[in-house]
Structure 1
Amino acid sequence: MSDDDETYAVTAGPPQGRHQFVIKLLWIGIWLAFMNAPVKDLLGGGHTGWARASGALGLVVFVGVYLVLVFRQTSKAMGRQRVLFTITFLGALAVLLALTFGVPWLVLFVYVCVSAGATLPIRYSRLLIPLVVAVMVGTGLTLHDARETVTALVFPALLGGFAMTGVRQLIRTTIQLREARATVAQLAANEERLRLARDLHDLLGHSLSLITLKSELAGRLLPEHPDRAAEQVADIEQVSRQALVDVRSAVTGYRRPTLPGELAGARTALAAAGITADIRADAPEGVPEEPEEVLAWGMREAVTNVVRHSGARRCTITLTRRQTLDGPLLELVVADDGRGAPGPKAGNGLTGIAERLAAVEGTLVTGPAGGGPAPGKGFALTLRVPVGSGLGSTE
């Protein structure tokens, strides 16, 4: 899982496993560090034992309800009335504790504001947060020497509440974007399936219909006119061959090789053959379609020859961008330390590569790689293809 996905699961969805549960609890509970004021008041405020016990109980209840409310609401939304009731309970408990134990307990109102911002829609929280702050101010005015504390808490209460409102909106937007992205991916897949179905219908619909009609006609002509039936059979063969060519052309378009795909395939094929792969290439961006396809086919053919015929122990694939007087070009070198070229006559594979390169004004150079078990052994295949000036550098 990526960092973004884990952050989403922790902040906006139910925790998946103990690890996310702990992280989510820490993410919500980290703000409890500001509870040091009431804790210090309980420990050193000169309260009686009974007062300390009741204050501790009230603080534990407040913190527990706060954690449960925020944790539950950010995992699985509760009913709005239940949320409002819980926030009201927190506000009433904050008033009771502040009036009972004094000024340090006014900080509880900050957590009431945060709860409202984190759990309620903005149309409710923008009204409730100022109301909670007003209650805090009113409560503070009834306490002795509370003006300075109240003044210091007004801004954190408002900021904390509305900041959590912003976080809630951000999480909601993130959820909507994730859903929209999933929908777009599904629509793209459906569109691709429709395009494939449409292309196959256009390619094969007419041909298959014609083959069917001519087959029926040949069957009727065969007993009395075998020569005319033979003509229909010949037409059927011609139509079927053309349909096969059309299908192959369409499949080639769907499965056009790319440099990233062939680089990954080369690494896998060499590893499966027990050949050490030294790939010094990062597929550049912005390569035109035809040059990229030619290089990809060349890489596939070269790696296939290394695996099948070279007897090599190591193969080096280098893809670099070079600037020449005639413009930028992309150079692919596939070199091995095997037994070298099989003979002076080029095989069908190299001939096919040369023909593809000629179509895009590229060049093919073959020769010893100099890395084999004896001087001059090994084989290197170098393809150079001119590309546009917008190609990103691979170096």
Structure 2
Amino acid sequence: MEKFRRLLAGPWVPPYLGKAPYLWLLSLNFFVWKFFYVRPDPLEVGLLLLSVLVFVPMYFASYWLRNRRAVPVLLATVALGVAWAPHNFGASTFFIFACAMCAALERPRQAYLAIGLILGGAALMAALRGLPLSFLLPTLAVGAPVGIASVMDARVRRSAQLLLRKQEEVEHIARIAERERISRDLHDLLGHTLSLIAIKAELAGRLLERDTAATAKEIKDIETTARHALAEVRSAVTGYRQTGFAQELAQARAALAAADVRLEAEVQPFAMPATAENVLALALREAVTNILRHANATRCQVSVRQEGGQIVCHISDDGRAPVDGAALARGNGLRGMRERVAAAGGRLTLHAESGLALELYLPMGAAA
């Protein structure tokens, strides 16, 4: 009973079609025209009402069925037209509705073939049974354009729905890419900064009893670094962060100095695209973070130069080579660096010898 109540509540046609399908049912009044000049027969009127009661549910069902599932409804509608054609020229309405129902066949060739068969069958029946033009002309003159228009409209709607799904997929992929970008950036930001804070906190602990002034300085640096990290995290989440290479190089020098690592930098002066500069800055940050965490190095070398149409960046240290270089390469930091470099149209190579060496190649025209 509840299911029947929900069925009556509707919707009986897809909501995006609006109210028009309900209005099209008014064309069934063609059956009444005969009775303006012929006295109604009670049996005929009763059968006509029964036919309408059978047809209306099939009509609404045709909007929800597709392809083979729609064929029985289509054939039943044609059968009603064939049954009524000898008795009432309003039967042309059933053939017109059948032509419109062909839109449920998603392959255009099949839909147009079905329209042709319906109209051809109606014409053949009219010729064999000697039916009047009042039946044949409306069937052919209205059925053909209505059927073709319905098929074309259905194709347009299906194309629009497919395009909408594609757009939703693109938006979903874009959201995933944005989450990955934020994840990489947060890893680069927090990994580097927290390593620096940990080193400075350890140094402050060692200096606490020997040099209170130096301890206070280190604690002040920790506070400044934490505030700076908080600002960068906020900026990264909003997607507007751009890191300058010169600024990042200065921060790397300070961070390495706190860990007693000497930074030797050789940066060739040239105009660098903003995107390439940001990629290099984040790569330097990740490399310095790895040195602080794993290398136990005393020296770090950084060189940036232009070769032809490429920017070449070399970062290496003299520390302990990683025991499992493959695991290091699979880590979040280096994986994020590879993805960022690849997105800018460049490539990254990794060498583990006495220490760790990174080489980045970025095109001068890296797209934003």
Pick the aligned partner of 1:50 from 28, 43, 54.
Answer: 43
Distance in 1, matches of 2:234 and 2:16, equals 49
- Note the C-alpha offset of 1:63: 3.4
In the alignment, structure 2 segments of 5+ residues that lack a partner are 1-6, 241-368
Aligned residues of 1:129 and 1:158 also touching (Cα < 8 A): yes
Q: Which residue of 2 aligns with 1:380?
A: none
Q: Which residue of 1 aligns with 2:176?
A: 190
Q: Which residue of 2 aligns with 1:318?
A: none
- 1:184-241 Cα offsets, whole Å, 9 max, x none, are 3333333333333333333332121122134335445657xx23x8646634532541
Task: Please tell me the residue identity of whatever aligns with 1:245.
Answer: H
Pick the aligned partner of 1:158 from 131, 135, 144.
Answer: 144
Pick the aligned partner of 2:220 from 237, 243, 246.
Answer: 237
Identity %: 24
Q: Which residue of 1 aligns with 2:283?
A: none
- Note the C-alpha offset of 1:133: 1.0
Instruction: Show the 5 A alignment for 1:308-323.
Output: none
Q: Which residue of 1 aligns with 2:94?
A: 108
Distance in 2, matches of 1:38 and 1:254, equals 68
- 1:301-326 Cα offsets, whole Å, 9 max, x none, are xxxxxxxxxxxxxxxxxxxxxxxxxx
Distance in 1, matches of 2:158 and 2:194, equals 52
In the alignment, structure 1 segments of 5+ residues that lack a partner are 1-13, 258-395
Distance in 2, matches of 1:98 and 1:185, equals 53
- Note the C-alpha offset of 1:154: 1.5
The alpha-carbon distance between structure 1 residues 233 and 180, as it changes in their structure 2 partners (threshold 3 A), is: farther
Task: Please tell me the residue identity of whatever aligns with 1:65.
Answer: M
Task: Please tell me the residue identity of whatever aligns with 2:221.
Answer: Q
- Note the C-alpha offset of 1:88: 1.1
- 1:342-395 Cα offsets, whole Å, 9 max, x none, are xxxxxxxxxxxxxxxxxxxxxxxxxxxxxxxxxxxxxxxxxxxxxxxxxxxxxx
- Residue 82 (structure 1) aligned with residue 69 (structure 2): yes
Distance in 1, matches of 2:24 and 2:222, equals 76
Task: Please tell me the residue identity of whatever aligns with 2:230.
Answer: V
- 1:30-49 Cα offsets, whole Å, 9 max, x none, are 12233232222256434533
Q: Which residue of 2 aligns with 1:61?
A: 54
Aligned residues of 1:125 and 1:165 also touching (Cα < 8 A): yes
Distance in 1, matches of 2:38 and 2:228, equals 91
- Residue 124 (structure 1) aligned with residue 110 (structure 2): yes
Aligned residues of 2:13 and 2:60 also touching (Cα < 8 A): no
Q: How many residues align?
A: 234
Tell me the SS of whatever aligns to 2:130: coil
- Note the C-alpha offset of 1:110: 0.6
Pick the aligned partner of 1:41 from 18, 34, 41.
Answer: 34
The alpha-carbon distance between structure 1 residues 25 and 231, as it changes in their structure 2 partners (threshold 3 A), is: closer
Aligned residues of 1:207 and 1:240 also touching (Cα < 8 A): no
Distance in 2, matches of 1:175 and 1:47, equals 47
The alpha-carbon distance between structure 1 residues 251 and 230, as it changes in their structure 2 partners (threshold 3 A), is: same
Q: Which residue of 1 aligns with 2:127?
A: 141
Pick the aligned partner of 2:187 from 173, 189, 201.
Answer: 201
Task: Give TM-score scaled by structure 1 length.
Answer: 0.49
- Note the C-alpha offset of 1:95: 0.7
Distance in 1, matches of 2:183 and 2:8, equals 42
Distance in 1, matches of 2:9 and 2:236, equals 42
Distance in 2, matches of 1:117 and 1:64, equals 17
Task: Give TM-score scaled by structure 2 length.
Answer: 0.53
